[in-house]
Amino acid sequence: MILVGEGEDLEPPDSFMKRRVSGKVLNLLGDYRYLTKGYYVSLHAEENGCEVFPPVKNALDAYRAPLFISILRKLGFETPEFEIVCNPKPEACVLLPLNPFSKNSAKVVKNSYQYLKAFRSLSMNRYPVVQVKAEKIEIVDMYLTKTNKEEYSFVAETLFRTLKIPLGKVFFEVNGEKVKPFYFAPLEKDEINFELIFEVLNNENSLFC
Amino acid sequence: MRIACFVESYNFKFKQEKEALEIFKKTAEDLGHSFTTLGDEILHYIDKFDSVFIRATTDPLFTSYVVSRLAEEMGKKVIDDSESIRVCSNKVALYYRLKKNSIPIPKTIPFFGDFENLESYANKLGFPLVVKAPNSRFSLYVEKANNYDELVKITKRFMRRSKALILQEYMPTAFDWRVGVLEGESIYACKYFMPKGGWRVRDSIEGRKVWGKVKAVKVENLPKKLRKIAERAAKSVGNGLYGVDIKEVDGDYYVIEVNDNPTIMHGDEDTKNPELYEKIIQALVS
């Protein structure tokens, strides 16, 4: 298993991409958005015939809210209602980009003013926007099969085993006792907890079977 | 069958593109199918159709990619499929794919910002060389470096918007072959000429953007070797609709690009093989 990332005991992405690789590759860059270094590491591994975590297709799917929600529903998770909107429909909600051009672009809006401002920014006057019926949200960091908040690890376990995505942030709608996942976003470099990653890697034997 | 065609208005700057779309519609209807053009609202209606034909700029960052993936998730036939978009929209991904399948290409080196090696890469390719941003299209973000200083300036400028670039041997030719390939079979062909004084099909001459002329060639009259290389190159990406760009140098052929969502303009690409419309519609409903 080749571990690629920016940290101790990891192969730096630049040297990884310059050589022929084989076997399994765990990409720990955290941001796998299209055209990022994380994307190219997975692409390089995939085109060299490696089994890579994450595959590029899954990484692209996970960051696109309608596709991610569709995956969650197929996996049996309850998700909040959502709509893809081409024109503003102000209400208290969470607005998400259809395509993740930038990081941290999810916006929780509580009134029309906030809504219209967020809509303009996310649509870039050109793209549809995803509107999720959720007012209270919780964001957790996912490290392979675990999250930084233990009670949310059930989602990480399923997502890692099906989508093969090692790192990210999962957004949940919180409504009383119910928590419903709905969005997946990259982890920033300085947010990555390598201690937790290695703890998971050392304790779980069947992670990559 | 019900065919949805996803379009975005900015893709129809030329009247020949609109005319081609009208021919697609008429051809589909003559064959007993419906053909509905939709903009972003298609995202609400994909399930109402049997197949989706994308005629908008394809890129994993654009709406077209989400349309393609959602349609695939619903089990619809899609042209362009998402894998073709992922590979063809990214010249680094395309390079991997062509190389892996032993398709003849000009000498090419992917560059990931390792400036300490740039000079040795340049020595391998020789000057002038071509620098391409991975998601360049219509010759945008494709520039020629005549010497090392120019190369450093261009790569630094391009690296501001990309983590990877393609460095490629320069092959001057009067035209590029464009072979349209559908499901592994060549269905039309053209010569895309460079405009006078330019080296790219779409070039900037005296500050003006200029397109070169297009001359259609009947597919049946293409050199066998050219046709075979085009079909192999397309196959290395997938089984959809592609426009394969090829340089001819001293009787040898070198693939420079495989484009998904290839331009189809009435009076250009369709001149010698007008049956291309029917073939594409049949592929959508098969």
Look at residues B11, B258, B79 and name the one whose alpha carbon lies nearest to residue B67. Answer: B79
Query: Which chain B residues contact residue A47 at CB under 8 A?
Result: 93, 96-97, 100
* Closest Cβ–Cβ partner in B61, B70, B134 for A67: B70
Give CA–CA dist B35/B196, Å, rounded. 39
Query: Which chain A residues contact residue B110 at CB under 8 A?
Result: 17
Look at residue A204 in the predicted model and tell me its pLDDT: 75
* Closest Cβ–Cβ partner in A56, A84, A128 for B86: A56
Look at residue B138 in the predicted model and tell me its pLDDT: 65
Distance between B45 CA and the closest CA of chain A, angstroms: 11
| Domain co-membership, B253 together with B186 | yes
Give CA–CA dist B102/A195, Å, rounded. 43
B93 and A43 within 8 Å at the Cβ level: the answer is: yes
Residue B13 has pLDDT above 90, yes or no: no
pLDDT in tens, A116-163: 999 999 998 888 999 999 989 999 999 999 999 988 999 999 999 999
Per-residue pLDDT band for A181 (boundaries 50, 70, 90) equals very high
Q: Would you tell me how many other CB atoms lie within 10 Å of the CB of residue A111?
A: 10
CATH number where B149 lies: 3.30.1490.20
A127 and B113 within 8 Å at the Cβ level: the answer is: no
Q: Domain ranges in chain A?
A: 2-57, 61-78+135-203, 82-132
Look at residue A175 in the predicted model and tell me its pLDDT: 87
The overall average pLDDT reported for chain B is 94
- Chain A and chain B share a number of CB contacts under 8 A equal to 74
Look at residue B204 in the predicted model and tell me its pLDDT: 80
Query: Could you tell me the maximum CA-CA distance found in chain A, to the nearest angstrom?
Result: 53
A99 and B62 within 8 Å at the Cβ level: the answer is: yes
Residue B286 lies in a domain: no
Give CA–CA dist B70/A61, Å, rounded. 10
Query: Which chain A residues contact residue B112 at CB under 8 A?
Result: 13-14, 17-18, 37, 40
Distance between B22 CA and the closest CA of chain A, angstroms: 25
- Count of domains forming chain B: 3
Q: Is the dihedral of CA B192, B196, B200, B204 positive or negative?
A: negative
Per-residue pLDDT band for B14 (boundaries 50, 70, 90) equals confident
Domain limits at B112? 108-169
CA atoms within 13 A on the CB side of A117: 9
Structure tokens at B198: 């330019």
Q: Which of B147, B169, B191 is the last residue of a domain?
A: B169
- Which pTM does this prediction carry? 0.94
Distance between A151 CA and the closest CA of chain B, angstroms: 30
pLDDT in tens, B102-119: 999 999 999 999 999 999
Residue B203 has pLDDT above 80, yes or no: no
Give CA–CA dist A79/A65, Å, rounded. 11
CB B184 within 8 A of CB B239: yes
Give CA–CA dist B97/A17, Å, rounded. 15
A101 and B61 within 8 Å at the Cβ level: the answer is: yes
| Domain co-membership, B229 together with B96 | yes
Q: Which residues 74-133 on chain A approach chain B with CB closer than 8 angstroms?
A: 84, 86, 98-99, 101, 127-128
| Domain co-membership, B132 together with B223 | no
**ipTM for the complex?**
0.93
Residue B95 lies in a domain: yes
pLDDT in tens, B147-188: 999 999 999 999 988 889 999 999 999 999 999 999 999 999
Look at residue B199 in the predicted model and tell me its pLDDT: 81
Residue B11 has pLDDT above 80, yes or no: no
Query: Which chain B residues contact residue A35 at CB under 8 A?
Result: 61, 90, 134-135, 162-164
CA distances from B114 to A67, B151, B163, B275 (A): 35, 13, 10, 48
pLDDT in tens, A91-105: 999 999 998 777 778
Residue B279 lies in a domain: no
What letter would DSSP give residue A187? P
Residue B7 lies in a domain: yes
Query: Which chain A residues contact residue B40 at CB under 8 A?
Result: 86, 127-128
CATH number where B248 lies: 3.30.470.20
Which residues, including other chains, have CB under 8 Å from residue B97's CB and lie 6 or more apart? A47, B87, B236, B237
Give CA–CA dist B179/B131, Å, rounded. 23
Look at residues A197, A207, A164 and name the one whose alpha carbon lies nearest to residue A32. Answer: A164
What single-letter amino acid sits at B227? Answer: R
Look at residues B67, B41, B74, B70 and name the one whose alpha carbon lies nearest to residue B53. Answer: B67
Residue A61 contacts B where some CB pair is shorter than 8 Å: yes
Residue B283 lies in a domain: no
Structure tokens at B91: 């010249």
| Domain co-membership, B50 together with B146 | no
* Closest Cβ–Cβ partner in B39, B96, B164 for A47: B96
CB B7 within 8 A of CB B21: yes
| Domain co-membership, B191 together with B222 | yes
Distance between A48 CA and the closest CA of chain B, angstroms: 8
